Structure 1
Amino acid sequence: MTAAADLLVTNAEVHTLTRPDETHEAVAVRDGRIVRVGDAYELEFLAGVDTRTLDLGGRVLLPGFVDAHTHLDVVGRKRVHADLSTAESRDEALDALRDRAAVVDAGDPVLGFGYDESAWGENAYLTRTDLDAVDAAGPVVAVREDLHVASLSSAALARFGDDLPASGVRREGGEPTGVVVEAAAEVVLDALAPDRAGTETLLRAAQEYANARGVTTVHDMVQRSHAPRVYRDLDAADELTLRVRLNYWADHLDALVETGLRTNHGDGLVRVGAIKTFTDGSLGGRTAKLSEPYADAPDERGEWSVTPAAFRKLLDGAEAAGFQVAAHAIGDEAVDEVVDAFADRSATADTRHRIEHAELASDDAIDRVADCGVVASVQPNFHRWAGEGGLYADRLGDRRTETNRLGRLADAGIHLAFGSDCMPLDPLFGVHHAVDAPTDAQRLDVTEALRAYTLGSAYAGFDEDRLGTVEPGKCADFVALDESPWVVDDIAAIDVAVTVVDGRIVHDAR
């Protein structure tokens, strides 16, 4: 006798996202796994006394979204501190910081996250003068959306200034402007990092936010954080509502080796992922390493965060210890160096090394990535800056059309994994920008974009056999949408109705 299902999802437009994509009406789940996909009539016999039936009222059902590159603590910080990502002007950002200053204890830091000056029609970061006008009793720190730039008030400069590397402190007339970049911004972020309890507060807020956007798995980039412990504690308490792949920063490598961990260790909802490292910076911070100068700064071509020699040394050590490596590379010069290093190892076992971002990859680099089987972990939402008059036009001029060429990457046969880098964490926003990108070389069709945010990202985490499609035997992770992304013009505006993780309904907005 066939055992009854724990959950029966019916009256749905089920897109399996297999190749070719199949559509069905119903899905049956038992013990957190999909056991049947088919017609509603055929699956009714799996309904038992204790079966929960989820009637989707004709909604579109997809595999759950897998965000291949995010920082959930930053998502949480936007929920808990001042969210500057929605500010449409400098004044709105400062008002948000003033609102935050009004509720923190006197003398405590006033923190804001996610500002984007390019969205204000400006090309200037928040400065010390701006933040001093917040009139807070304690230091004020505003972190740019890319995490590579932070803005500090005079009080914040006084508190952190002695610890900041001089190369990362921007100055005018010999005086600090309050803008710090790269290693100096990292010092500030480390100094303001929350304790374990604070981290739990951030991650609980972030996972709720992620589930509400259909995210069922995250590849979280963690650095000197309590997050790994918090995730495991939440999982043990049955309070984790996401699958988490922990991509540890390179400075954790020795400790991970000492404890005997390697990529894919773990069970439950938490597993060990890659070793993450920078090579260069960001286009927004003018620190991405370019072969030609920035259009708006003719004397600048970016900088190395990790030199090519140091990256190769790290790659050797991580690979020898059984780790996948995820290398941040944005500028074309940085991408070339990372591809060179990975290509030297193309004959090794299935390491699935990843290049993160690859925003300005040349045609030659793209073809070589395909040849050596490296995963391109990219962010389609970055096309928000690709239009005329946008950030990329300011930084790169005519080269803006060479950024994030998703279609070119796909045509080369590269494994594409989509993530958000929490700018913002919203897969449908990313799919929208992939479909509506400015040029054919930057654009994907709806199905390709959805696959990159599901099966493609699952592949980047060695999870393609259990995640990424709606098929029998796979984990019961899926999302129901109020409208079809194949039909509407504004995919970003589609509402997420239901999110299911491991057979449990973790978000229900019906």
Structure 2
Amino acid sequence: MTEAADLLLTNAEVHTLARPDETHEAVAVRGGRIVRVGDAYELDFLAGVDTRVVDCGGGVLLPGFVDAHTHLELLGRKLVNADLSVAESRAEALDALRDRAAAVESGAPVLGFGYDEHAWGETDYLTRADLDAVDASGPVVAVREDLHVASLDSTALERWVDDLPAEGVRREGDEPTGVVVEDAAAAVLDAVAPDPAETADLLRAAQRHANERGVTGVHDMIRCSHTSGAYRDLARQGDLSLRVRLNYWADHLDALLETGLRTNHGEGLVRVGALKTFTDGSLGGRTARLSEPYADAPGECGEWTVTPAAFRDLFDSAESAGFQVAAHAIGDEAVDEVITTFAARDDSDSRHRIEHAELASDDAIDRMADRGIVASVQPNFHRWAGESGLYADRLGDRRTATNRLRRLADAGVHLAFGSDCMPLDPLVGVHHAVNAPTDAQRLGVTEALRAYTLGSAYAGFDEDRLGTVEPGKRADLVVLDASPWGVPEAIRDIDVTLTVVDGDIVYDGR
């Protein structure tokens, strides 16, 4: 007699994403794994006394989304502090900071995360003068959504400016403007970092947010040293509702080597992922390393946040120790440098990754394909690709050369989609991939969904466990209330109705 299922998801439009146009009606789960996929009538026979049967109401069932580039602790900070990503103007951002100032204890830091001046139709960052107008008793810090720029009021500058890297502190004459970039911005984030207990609370808030958007797994870029411990504590307590790959920042390398950890170590919901490093900065901060100057800053080509020589040394150490390497590279010159370094080791099985690769040239894309380098990209960045967006300001006519998803896919590059938490919402990313401005930037619905499922699973060495709806794979699943194929022009408006991780329902929005 066939053993009964633990969970039966029925009355669904199941897209396995394993083969083109393959659909079914129901999925049976046992022991956290998918055991059958097929007709609802046939799978009904797997319903036993203790089986939980869920009627999906005709919704579209897909593999769970795997976000290949996240910062969940920082997302939690945004959710708990002032969320500046929803501000539609400079005035609204400052009002949100004032509300936060009224909510914290006197003298405590007032923090806001996620502002984007381009969403306000402006080009200037928040400044010291702006934040002084919040009139808080403690320091005020507003972090731009790319995490490469932070804005400080006078109190924050007085407290921290002497300890910040001087080259990252923007000045007019001798006076700091309140804008700090790159390593200086990172130092500010460190200065206001949460303690271990707060980190666990932030991760709980962030994972709820992620589950509600159909996210079943993340590749989290771990910079705070106790975040990985918080994840493992949550898993041990049974409170973790995501599958997590820990992509440790490069400054953790010595500790990782000392403890004997390597890529793919771990079991259950938490595993070690890649070693994450930078090479350049961001287009928003004009610090991405370009081969030609910025359109709105003639003579400036960005900067190396990690020099090519230092990157090569780091890569050699990490690769020799068994680590996959995930290198942040946005400008075309930075992307070229990373590819050259990766290519010096002829080992495509390592699945080394370029994070963002926003301005990769044709030659770079072809070299990535030849060497098996993964492009860990963020389709939601297409929101800046319009004729009057951030890319147009920074790059001029080169804006159409950014995030060429179609070109990458046609070349055979492995695509892994993530959000960089701008925002964390896979359906927003899929929407932008499908509705990108140019043919070279645009993917079909199935291609975009596969990049956010199987593609991200591949980037985490998990394609045999995750990424498609097939017997034997872990039961990480999502149900949508409408078909992305039916409304390609409005995918971001689709709602998630059910999220399943390892056979457990972690979000039920029905």
Structure 2: gaps (5+ residues) = none
Structure 2 counterparts to residues 320-331 of structure 1, below 5 A: 320-331=320-331
Structure 2 counterparts to residues 24-423 of structure 1, below 5 A: 24-345=24-345, 347-348=346-347, 350-423=349-422
Q: Secondary structure at the match of 1:262?
A: coil
Q: Structure 1: how far apart are the matches of 2:354 and 2:348? A: 17
How far off its partner does 1:244 sit? 0.2
Return the letter of the residue paired with 1:315. Answer: F
Q: Structure 2: how far apart are the matches of 1:348 and 1:410? A: 21
Q: TM-score, with normalisation over the residues of structure 1? A: 0.99
Q: Secondary structure at the match of 2:151?
A: strand
- Judge conservation of contact 2:72–2:203 (CA < 8 Å) in 1: yes
Give me the CA root mean square deviation.
Answer: 0.6
Q: Secondary structure at the match of 1:246?
A: strand
Q: Secondary structure at the match of 1:303?
A: coil
- Judge conservation of contact 2:348–2:371 (CA < 8 Å) in 1: no
Q: Structure 2: how far apart are the matches of 1:344 and 1:304? A: 20
Q: Secondary structure at the match of 1:97?
A: helix
Q: Structure 2: how far apart are the matches of 1:14 and 1:119? A: 37
Q: Secondary structure at the match of 1:61?
A: strand
How far off its partner does 1:349 sit? 6.0
Q: Structure 2: how far apart are the matches of 1:453 and 1:25? A: 22
Q: Structure 2: how far apart are the matches of 1:178 and 1:299? A: 24
Paired residue for 1:452? Answer: 451
Q: Structure 2: how far apart are the matches of 1:499 and 1:387? A: 33
How far off its partner does 1:173 sit? 2.2
Which moved further from structure 2: 217-226 or 417-426? 217-226
How far off its partner does 1:389 sit? 0.6
Alignment deviations for residues 170-203 of structure 1 (CA, whole Å, 9 cap, x no partner) = 0112211000000100110001100001101100
Return the letter of the residue paired with 2:444. Answer: D
Q: Structure 2: how far apart are the matches of 1:494 and 1:77? A: 26
Paired residue for 1:469? Answer: 468
Paired residue for 1:425? Answer: 424
Paired residue for 1:479? Answer: 478
* Number of equivalenced pairs: 509
Q: Structure 1: how far apart are the matches of 2:86 and 2:424? A: 13
How far off its partner does 1:78 sit? 1.1
Paired residue for 2:494? Answer: 494
Q: Secondary structure at the match of 2:289?
A: coil
Return the letter of the residue paired with 1:382. Answer: F
Q: Structure 2: how far apart are the matches of 1:329 and 1:497? A: 36
How far off its partner does 1:458 sit? 0.1
Q: Structure 2: how far apart are the matches of 1:149 and 1:376? A: 24
How far off its partner does 1:224 sit? 3.1
Q: Structure 1: how far apart are the matches of 2:481 and 2:39? A: 20
Q: Structure 2: how far apart are the matches of 1:159 and 1:121? A: 32
Alignment deviations for residues 398-424 of structure 1 (CA, whole Å, 9 cap, x no partner) = 000000000000000010000000000
Return the letter of the residue paired with 2:138. Answer: G
Q: Structure 2: how far apart are the matches of 1:12 and 1:198? A: 39
Return the letter of the residue paired with 1:427. Answer: P
How far off its partner does 1:344 sit? 1.3
Q: Secondary structure at the match of 2:349?
A: coil
Q: Secondary structure at the match of 1:102?
A: helix
Return the letter of the residue paired with 1:168. Answer: G
Q: Structure 1: how far apart are the matches of 2:396 and 2:20? A: 39
Q: Structure 2: how far apart are the matches of 1:82 and 1:310? A: 36
Change (3 A) 1:349 1:302: closer
Q: Structure 2: how far apart are the matches of 1:378 and 1:390? A: 19
Q: Secondary structure at the match of 1:85?
A: helix
Return the letter of the residue paired with 1:82. Answer: A
Return the letter of the residue paired with 1:391. Answer: L
Q: Structure 2: how far apart are the matches of 1:405 and 1:74? A: 28
How far off its partner does 1:315 sit? 0.7
Q: Following TM superposition, where does structure 1 have runs of at least 4 consecutive aligned residues deviating by more than 4 angstroms?
A: none
Q: Secondary structure at the match of 2:118?
A: helix
Alignment deviations for residues 103-159 of structure 1 (CA, whole Å, 9 cap, x no partner) = 100000000000000110000000000000000000000000000000000000001
How far off its partner does 1:225 sit? 3.0
Q: Structure 2: how far apart are the matches of 1:483 and 1:227? A: 36
Alignment deviations for residues 256-296 of structure 1 (CA, whole Å, 9 cap, x no partner) = 11111100000110000000000000000000000000011
Q: Structure 1: how far apart are the matches of 2:174 and 2:320? A: 46
Which moved further from structure 2: 400-409 or 16-25? 16-25
Q: Structure 2: how far apart are the matches of 1:348 and 1:294? A: 35
Which moved further from structure 2: 121-130 or 167-176? 167-176
- 1:3 to 2:3 alignment: yes
Return the letter of the residue paired with 2:151. Answer: S
- Judge conservation of contact 2:348–2:373 (CA < 8 Å) in 1: no
- 1:23 to 2:23 alignment: yes
Which moved further from structure 2: 15-24 or 467-476? 15-24
Q: Structure 1: how far apart are the matches of 2:25 and 2:227? A: 39
Q: Structure 2: how far apart are the matches of 1:225 and 1:316? A: 23
Return the letter of the residue paired with 2:76. Answer: G
Change (3 A) 1:87 1:349: closer
- Judge conservation of contact 2:28–2:46 (CA < 8 Å) in 1: yes
